[in-house]
Amino acid sequence: MELAGLSLSEVLTVLGGFAAAVVVLYLLKLRRRQVEVPFVHLWQQVLAEKQTTRLFSALKRILSLLVALLVVAALAFATGDPRYAGATDEGRTTVVLIDASASMQATDVAPSRLDAARERVAPLVAAMASADRMLVAQMDASTVPLSPLTSEPRLVEDGLERLRPTDVAADLGRGLRFSLDVLAGQPRPRVVIVSDGVLGPTGRVAERAREAGVEIDWIPIGEGGRNVAITAFSVRRYPLDKSRSEVLVELFNPTDEDASVELELSGDGEPIDVQRLRVGAGERLRRFFQNVTGADRTLEAHVAMADGAPDAQPADDRAYARLPERRRARVLAVSGGNLYLSAALLLDEYLDVTEVAPADYPPPGEFDVTIFDGWVPPSPPGTDAIYLAPVPAEGVEGPFVIRGEIERPFFDRVDRDHPIVQFTALRDVNIAASLDVELQDGDRVVAGDTGAPLLVTGSRSGRRLIALLFDVRRSDLPLRVAWPLLLINSIDHFVQEDARYLSSYETGETWYVPAPGDVTEATLVTPSGEERLVPVVDGRAVCTGLEAGFYTLRAGETEEVFAANLGPSDEAILEPAEALELAGEPAGEPEIGAASVRTEIWTWLVLLALAVIGVEWFTYHRRISV
Amino acid sequence: MLDWLRGKPTASAPADEGDLFDEEFQRRLDVLAIVSRKLARGRTRAERRSRKTGAGIEFADHRQYAPGDDFRYLDWNLYARTGRLLLRLYEEEEDLSVYILLDVSRSMAIGAPTSKLAYAKKLAAALGYIALANLDRVSIVTFADEVGGRLAPTRGKNRIFKAFEFLRPLRADGRTGTADAMKTFVAQNKRRGVAILISDLYDPDGFEGGINTLRYHKFEPYVVQVFDPAEVRPPLHGDVRLIDNETGDARDVTITPRVLARYAEAHRAYRRRIEDFCTQKHVPYFGVETSVPFDEAILDLLRRGGLVA
């Protein structure tokens, strides 16, 4: 037995002081209530009979004194916080990393893997010795401590209650780095990973942990079960018909058995398509939904087993996408008269075109894009601009310095990755002549002849430009489908409706979401309704989220909705790992100590004192002992 | 009652109990007087006859002649037959004297809401009124360890107001000493009669002496013991110091239900002792609890004992 509180001498001092006080109080004569009676002789008869019990009364008084001294002794020793020998040895410091990734939402172990994780950790907490300290943390894309590093099991248990599932992959490397930081300098460090074992690479941190002498244990969770997941989901509008969309869905069956599933597509909350599909064992099945109509803002995909039974992982059965907004682009065409240009601009009903002659430039109003057809304004325009054969007038400085002309150039090289040339065929376009220009730093040749550029992008005076360095009327380009596509791609490039529009973000990643308005802060509303402020940098809100679903970004009076989906497809794999190898060594099973060494005797001493006081009170006031 | 519960000393002077003898009280007295006459009519004549022998006209008894007796009352016929000198005795018609002996010792101050003294005053007034209504001579004498005040013998119903005036200012004080007080009483009152002793009889020297004194001196004693309900079942608990409010004797005691039960038994035994004594001596005894309305108590006395009429 050892004392963790007051020393033995201090305990004895307290005991002696209070015991002496109690004895003195008992020696003081009891002050009685005085009551007048009419005839005390009658009482004397009664008291005469009581004389025989005087000895018993004296004994009871001594017993009462002993009881009081017992209470004092119990409380005095409680101040010493006595412990069993060995309980005050140097304890173990443990960080429990609980995997809260999407795969931990699987229901292959009832009610879910996350609940099973809680249950598996509970004995570990219950077995904490007095000197042991523990911290429990939620490990998802980041690692969040749920309790302080404490020797109080109750605080750790409270932390376990705060554990919440997420729709992201767990980052074990980050979890281990966090653990190493916590365990630095702590006695007998240990990390306990509670997970299904489907975790990504950890890099060097696992080796560092081994080198630091940190014991790494693993509590495996999960049994495996059937699952078909949506691992990819995106949507884009057709460039020429923005009322229709094309949708890509990828299904993944990570199990060993084929599965029949029903894939349902909903637009703006209403079902728009249902397909029954068969996904082979281990297969990734891609499906394109062409000419999808009926969705204007949001799309949602839901996969379910064809037999109606739920699969073991509900988190990856749904995917979400946001359709790009169909905003009408305001286009100013400055031209002396070009039927090909006018006709091409008529093809896109989402363009709001204003045509003016060069003499009337600039007209009143605001525009997103200005097309200069064979004419260069005397001063740089206030919008992004498309230049067609930009030959400046005398005394005017154009976007390019023109060195001369090139006869019969061809589109020998085309940067197919650039969005403005997507879906276009330019190689056999016949061109009479093109301008030979001097490019500036930052200019990029998207297409051109071997000796000269024909299609250039760049920026001047802070505004972007796209320049077609020949007169389309002196080529057969206007007779080809590529001409209106090239023009519309260019306009879309400026108004953000390019083919790389992100219809959804990935949970756990950092998102840069275009923010409406000129703000520095916006409010992000998660799918579960939680609101938080996020910063806006260069017109984009920088944020992240752990839930799949539709988010709302609110800035001032305007709102933007965007979608987020579950991250890596590994989360669909429910088969638990057989072993968790870290730095070439398998993680071991955590050792669970005997709970009895934790017993704190002082609580029992206080309870004993309270019990004795309670018994004394009861026997006195119920007239059992008096 | 609360004073008793709180253990506060009870004042010897009565609390302000209002006018004990208000109109309502007097109305009840009238009713009691009527009822007492109805009860008496069934068993005896309206007026009481004294047992004193003397110059009456109705023969009562004989007794042995003693020197000094009046020769006129010798029964010569009987002497002729038997040769013994016997004196003829006649019942002497005279007013009945009713003495109401009221205990005003400190112990009579106890009781709530009505103290024993206040209750005893009402009893005394009621009994006095009934006696006056029967043309008896009524006298009220107070005592503690000696005789205190005295209402001179008086007759006639209208004298009841003098009795009220005598009773009103009485205060409880002094120790109970029945024997000494009765000795004084009999010495002061040669005219025999009914002596109604109203007391709690909490006499440390014993209640017997006083009653015997009355008996020995040819009074007809009636004993009315007054007690408060809280004396029988004291609402006490815990560690207390009991102080006798007459003697100041103190006793420390821890009150438990068992102690209370023993006390109640002791109190019952004490009352039984008084009752047994009175029965043996042919002295009517009445125990009256102050919780009983005084008029009910009076009627009970009339029915049971022929105390009046």
Domain ranges of chain B: 2-44+95-305, 53-91
CB atoms within 10 A of CB A141: 23
Provide, as residue numbers in chain B, all residues whose Cβ is less than 8 Å from the Cβ of A32.
239-241, 252
Of A10-19, A464-473, B114-123, B247-256, minimum mean pLDDT range:
B247-256
CA distance linking residue A121 with residue A138, whole number of Å: 13
- For β-strands A245-252 and A521-525, DSSP reports them as unpaired
Per the omega criterion (within 30 degrees of 0), is the bond before A362 cis? yes
Packing angle, helices A482-494 and A339-346, rounded to 10: 70
Q: Does B24 touch chain A (CB under 8 A)?
A: no
Greatest Cα pair distance in chain B: 80
Q: Does B232 touch chain A (CB under 8 A)?
A: no
d(Cα A347, Cα A488) in Å, to the nearest integer? 9
Bond from prior residue into A111 cis (ω within 30 degrees of 0): yes
Decide which of A69 and B48 is more confident: A69
Cβ atoms of residues A386 and A456 within 8 Å: no
Confidence of residue B43 (pLDDT cuts 50, 70, 90): very low
The residue of A30, A46, A54 whose CB has the most chain B CBs within 10 angstroms, and thus the best one to mutate to test that interface, is A46
- A442: CB partners within 8 A, 6+ apart: A458, A459
Whether residue B259 lies within 8 A of chain A, CB to CB, comes out as yes
Contact B107 A623 (CB under 8 A): no
Comparing CB atoms, the residue among B240, B245, B262 nearest residue A38 is: B245
The tokens for A425 are 């065929």
CA atoms within 13 Å, Cβ hemisphere of B149 = 16
- The pLDDT assigned to B10 comes to 40
**Whether pLDDT at B309 is above 50:** no
Q: pLDDT value at position A363? A: 93
For the cut 70, the answer to whether the pLDDT of residue B13 exceeds it is no
Q: For residue A136, what are its two tokens?
A: 């429990």
**What mean pLDDT, rounded, does chain A reach?**
86
Would you say residue A545 has pLDDT above 60? Answer: yes
DSSP A515: P
Burial category of B152 from C-beta neighbours within 10 Å (exposed 0-12, middle 13-18, buried 19 and up): exposed
Quick check: B236 and A35 CB within 8 A? Answer: yes
Which helix (H) or strand (E) covers residue A458, if one does?
A: strand A453-460
Domains and CATH numbers, chain A: 2-83+605-621 (no CATH), 93-224+575-598 (3.40.50.410), 229-326 (2.60.40.10), 329-494 (3.40.50.880), 505-565 (2.60.40)
Predicted TM-score (pTM) of the model is: 0.49
Mutate to test the interface with A, among B8, B119, B244 (most CBs of A within 10 A): B244
Q: What is the pLDDT of residues B85-132, one digit of tens each?
A: 888 877 655 567 899 999 999 999 988 888 999 999 999 999 898 888
Which candidate from B10, B256, B267 shows the least CB-CB separation from A42?
B267
Rounded to an integer, what distance in angstroms lies between the CA atom of residue A348 and that of residue A329? 10
HEC-encoded secondary structure of B258-304: HHHHHHHHHHHHHHHHHHHHHHHCCCCEEEEECCCCHHHHHHHHHHH
Question: Given pLDDT bands bounded at 50, 70 and 90, which one contains residue B134?
Answer: confident
Distance between CA atoms of residues B29 and B127, nearest Å = 9
How far CA A70 is from CA of A82, A135, A335, A611, B217, in Å, comes to 17, 39, 107, 11, 69
Poorest-pLDDT segment among A256-270, B18-32, B222-236: B18-32
B74: tokens are: 């010798």
**What is the per-residue pLDDT for A350?**
79
Asked if residue A90 has pLDDT above 70, the reply is no
Contacts of A69 (CB under 8 A, 6+ apart): A19, A22, A23
The pLDDT of A384-406, averaged and rounded, is 91
Residue of A nearest to B204 (CA): A41
Q: Do B243 and A37 touch (CB under 8 A)?
A: yes
Closest CA to B254 of B274, B230, B236, B281: B236
Q: Where do we find the tokens 């020197």?
A: B67
Q: With a cut of 60, say whether residue B27 has pLDDT above it.
A: yes
B269: nearest CA partner in chain A: A42
How many residues does this entry show for chain B? 309
3-state secondary structure of B23: helix
Higher pLDDT, B40 or A57: A57
Of the candidates A281, A172, A288, A160, the one whose C-alpha atom is nearest the C-alpha of residue A227 is A281
Cβ contact, residue pair A38, B107, below 8 Å: yes
* Among chain A residues, CA nearest to B2: A35
Q: How confident is the model at residue A252 (pLDDT cuts 50, 70, 90)?
A: very high
How far is Cα B203 from Cα B199, in angstroms, rounded to an integer? Answer: 10
pLDDT at B12 over 50: no
Q: Determine contact, residues A75/A605, Cβ cutoff 8 Å.
A: yes
Strand residues in A203-359 grouped as ranges (E):
215-220, 229-237, 245-252, 259-267, 270-279, 284-292, 298-305, 318-322, 329-334, 351-356
* Structural contact between residues A106 and A117, judged by C-beta atoms closer than 8 angstroms: no
pLDDT in tens, B192-214: 888 999 999 999 889 999 999 99
pLDDT at A467: 95
Look-up: residue for tokens 């102690």?
Answer: B259
Give the mean pLDDT of B175-202: 91
Output the pLDDT for position A395: 86
Percent with pLDDT over 70 in chain A:
92
Q: Which range is least confidently modeled, A3-7, A557-561, B52-56?
A: B52-56
* pLDDT in the model for residue A229: 92
**Closest approach of chain A CAs to the CA of B239, in angstroms?**
6
Q: How far apart are CA A534 and CA A513, in angstroms?
A: 11
Gap between the Cα atoms of B216 and A447, Å rounded: 155
Q: Do B234 and A38 touch (CB under 8 A)?
A: no
Angstrom distance (rounded) from CA A317 to CA A311: 9
The reply to whether B73 touches chain A by the CB within 8 Å rule is no
**AA identity, residue A431:** I
Taking the C-alpha atoms of residue A93 and residue A151, their distance in angstroms, rounded to an integer, is: 9
With an 8 Å Cβ cutoff, the interface of chain A facing chain B consists of: 30, 32-47, 49-50, 623, 626
Quick one: pLDDT at residue B200? 93
Q: How far apart are CA B168 and CA B162, in angstroms?
A: 10
Does the pLDDT at position B15 exceed 70?
Answer: no
**Confidence class for position A239, pLDDT limits 50, 70, 90:** low
CA B242 to CA B263: how far, in whole Å?
13
Residues facing residue A579 across a β-bridge:
none
Asked if the model's pLDDT at residue A461 lies above 90, the reply is no
- Identify the pLDDT of residue B39: 52
Residue A155 pLDDT > 60: yes
On whether the CB atoms of residues B131 and B308 are closer than 8 A, the answer is yes
From the CA of B47, how many Å to the nearest CA of chain A?
39
CA dist., res. A84 & res. B189, Å (int):
92
CB contact under 8 A, A39 and B252: no
8 Å CB contact between A131 and A121: no
User: What secondary structure, in 3-state letters, does A183-208 show?
Assistant: HCCCCCEEEEEEECCCCCCCCCHHHH
Confidence of residue B1 (pLDDT cuts 50, 70, 90): very low
Please provide the average confidence, as pLDDT, over all residues in chain B: 81
Q: What is the residue whose two structure tokens read 């003081």?
A: A28
**Helix (H) or strand (E) run with residue A345 in it:** helix A339-346
What's the CA gap between A233 and A302, in Å, rounded? 11
d(CA A474, CA A432): 6
CATH architecture of B2-44+95-305: 3-Layer(aba) Sandwich (3.40)
Can you tell me the distance from the alpha carbon of A527 to that of A515, in angstroms, rounded to the nearest whole number?
Answer: 18
Contact status of B246 with chain A (Cβ, < 8 Å): yes
Beta-strand ranges (E) seen in chain B are 53-64, 86-91, 97-103, 137-143, 147-154, 194-199, 220-227, 238-244, 250-255, 285-289
Quote the CA–CA distance of A609 and A620 in Å, as a whole number. Answer: 16
- In angstroms, the separation between the Cα of residue B268 and the nearest Cα of chain A is 10
pLDDT given for residue B32 in this prediction: 75
Strand, helix or coil for residue A1 = coil
Cβ atoms A170, A100 nearer than 8 A: yes
Of B7, B231, B246, the CB nearest to A35: B7
A194-208, A391-405, B218-232: lowest mean pLDDT where?
Answer: A194-208
Residue of chain A with shortest Cα separation from B234: A37
Count of CA atoms in the C-beta half-sphere (13 A) of A77: 19
pLDDT at A326 over 70: yes
Task: Say yes or no to pLDDT of A286 above 60.
Answer: yes
pLDDT at A428 over 60: yes
N-to-C CA span, chain A = 39
Q: Is residue B155 predicted with pLDDT exceeding 50? A: yes
pLDDT recorded at residue A55? 63
Q: Do B238 and A34 touch (CB under 8 A)?
A: no
What pLDDT, in 10s, does the model give residues B277-289?
A: 999 998 989 999 9
A-chain CB neighbours of B4 within 8 Å are: 35
Other C-beta atoms lying within 10 Å of the C-beta of residue A334? 25
- Ramachandran area for residue A539 (φ above 0: left; ψ -120 to 50: alpha; else beta): left
pLDDT at A601 over 60: yes
Containing A527, the helix (H) or strand (E) segment is none
Mutate to test the interface with B, among A30, A31, A40, A64 (most CBs of B within 10 A): A40
What b/e sequence results for A99-125 when a residue is b if at least 16 CB atoms lie within 10 Å of its CB, and e otherwise?
bbbbbbbbbbbeebbbbbbbebbeebb
Nearest to A547 by CA among A523, A530, A572, A570: A530
Interface with A, mutate which of B253, B265, B290 (most A CBs under 10 A): B253
Dump pLDDT digits (tens) for A361-386: 999 988 989 999 999 999 989 899 99
pLDDT in tens, A472-498: 999 999 999 999 999 988 998 887 654
pLDDT tens profile A331-350: 999 999 899 999 999 888 77
Compute the distance between CA of residue A89 and CA of residue A625 in angstroms, rounded to an integer. 46
Nearest to A34 among B241, B256, B270 (CB): B241
Share of chain B above pLDDT 90, in %: 36
Asked whether the predicted pLDDT for residue A524 surpasses 80, the reply is: yes
Give mean pLDDT, residues A30-58.
Answer: 73
